[in-house]
Structure 1
Amino acid sequence: MTLILPQSRFQQVETWVFDLDNTLYSADHDLWSQIDARMKAYIADFLGIAPDDAFKLQKDYYRRYGTSLRGLMIEHGMDPDAFLDHVHDIDLSGLSATPRLGAAIDALPGRKMVYTNGSERHARNVLEKLGIDDRFSAVHDIVAARFQPKPTDAAYRCFLDAHGVDPRRAAMFEDLSRNLEVPHRLGMATVLVVTQGTPAETRPGSREAWELEGRDAAHVDQVTDDLPAFLERLV
């Protein structure tokens, strides 16, 4: 499934930017269902509503605002810190070290960064379990983004400015097509990371159908279901 852009395009890249969840580890690990469930419970408790109503609100805000948290902050004045601590308190025991991925990332020339809509604490915990926590020069999280989430233009410009990234010399790896639209427009090479085997829409706790749209969109330069193999072909 991996198709490589002209080698010269990747030879220009000096900053490699990776989303975290379902990108640096396979969606088959299904950590997202844990986060999803903890969001629902927190929202239900915070607003004093039934879990089913909380779940509907959670998904509505996510679609409209980029993250459920952003919607809750705007619509209900929620303090984000307690929310982030709660939703990312999950079981990571299913993750294991990925030495092949670590070696492939090591071989890339230039800087490597993680850019996530989650918290830095969650990212650090996941990266440690994967055994690649020392590969990245920075983790840019939702707090660093001033709670402006991907896929907004403001979020990406905040990231680029904060780290002095030239988008024309950068590549972005993501599991959601819509999160690649702005990077592509700004000049970044874009790679959509999908999961091998079982279609994502049939897995328990998986993304909604609308989140999986855009795989063939013009703003997706490449699609791969094997991130280590893709990176190995670039060097």
Structure 2
Amino acid sequence: MPFDPTRVDCWIFDLDNTLYPPSTRMFNQIDLRMGAFIENLLGCDAVEARRVQKLYFHDHGTTLSGLMHYHAIDPHEFLAFVHDIDMAPLAAAPRLGEKLANLPGRKLVFTNGDADYAARVLGALGLAGTFDGLWDIHAMNYRPKPEPSAYAGLVEAFAITPETAVFVEDMACNLSPAKALGMQTVWLDLATEWGDRAKDDAAIDLIIDDIDEWLATLADQASLR
């Protein structure tokens, strides 16, 4: 079924590489911090740390989940360490606030990061106060997207009617559980090496490559004013 914005009263957005572009290279900073954390934890070199990091990411959805599974680390300690990064690159990101504000209904952030980090990112993007709620890795009980329980918890916590909600995400694999619940889905295809991993075409209603342009198009539609 083609994407129908007139059916939407709840707009759910991923955070990283969705509300800002990967050209800011924010995740490069996080990636390096993850590697340093694993080096310190395991007493290994950078090459082995990266192997472990990517293995856990692919097998468990996030590096954090793998570290918790195999090493029983404190997630708060890990997240505080890896998210201790410079927000300055976000100053050059598109300003989406007005376009998001024009969308009718609630706006939510759904992220595998944590709330403290998300607040810093949103603040740096000029989006503080734009969203009505946030569902983070702590709220998911550390079972991240694309774990179905993460989506079910979001729906229950915010009393979302899936059939009138849309989820916008840069990682295609994270759209399937949303589609299974009845949500409309939008894949932000940024041609990254991870974006199309485990992509299911049947779980995607619309593909876009520029969220700023897409939001501008929605704002121009009289039916959404």
TM-score by length of 2: 0.91
Aligned-pair identity (%): 40
Q: What amino acid is aligned across from residue 38 of structure 2 in structure 1?
A: I
Secondary structure of the structure 2 residue equivalent to 1:95? helix
1:231 maps to 215
2:192 maps to 200
Q: What amino acid is aligned across from residue 75 of structure 1 in structure 2?
A: Y
CA RMSD of aligned residues (A): 1.8
1:143 maps to 138
Secondary structure of the structure 1 residue equivalent to 2:157? helix
Bigger relative contact order, structure 1 or 2, given CA contacts below 8 A and separation 6+? 1
Q: In the aligned structure 2, how far is the partner of 1:98 from the partner of 1:169?
A: 29
Contact 1:114 1:138 in 2 (8 A): yes
Q: Give the stretch that moved more between structures: 65-74 or 94-103.
A: 94-103
Find runs of 4+ consecutive structure 1 residues off by over 3 angstroms. 97-100, 213-216
Contact 2:20 2:94 in 1 (8 A): no
TM-score by length of 1: 0.87
Contact 2:13 2:19 in 1 (8 A): yes
How big is each residue's C-alpha offset from its partner over 1:78-122, in whole Å with a ceiling of 9 and x where there is no partner?
110010000001111111276752111111111001010001111
1:102 aligns with 2:86: no
Contact 2:95 2:126 in 1 (8 A): no
Contact 1:97 1:131 in 2 (8 A): no
Contact 2:95 2:125 in 1 (8 A): no
1:134 maps to 129
Secondary structure of the structure 2 residue equivalent to 1:172? strand
Q: C-alpha displacement at 1:221, in angstroms?
A: 1.1
Q: In the aligned structure 2, how far is the partner of 1:214 from the partner of 1:48?
A: 33
Q: C-alpha displacement at 1:212, in angstroms?
A: 2.7
Q: C-alpha displacement at 1:180, in angstroms?
A: 0.4
Change (3 A) 1:97 1:200: closer
Contact 1:44 1:54 in 2 (8 A): yes
Q: C-alpha displacement at 1:194, in angstroms?
A: 2.8
Q: Structure 1: state its 5+ residue gaps.
A: 202-206
Q: What amino acid is aligned across from residue 200 of structure 1 in structure 2?
A: T
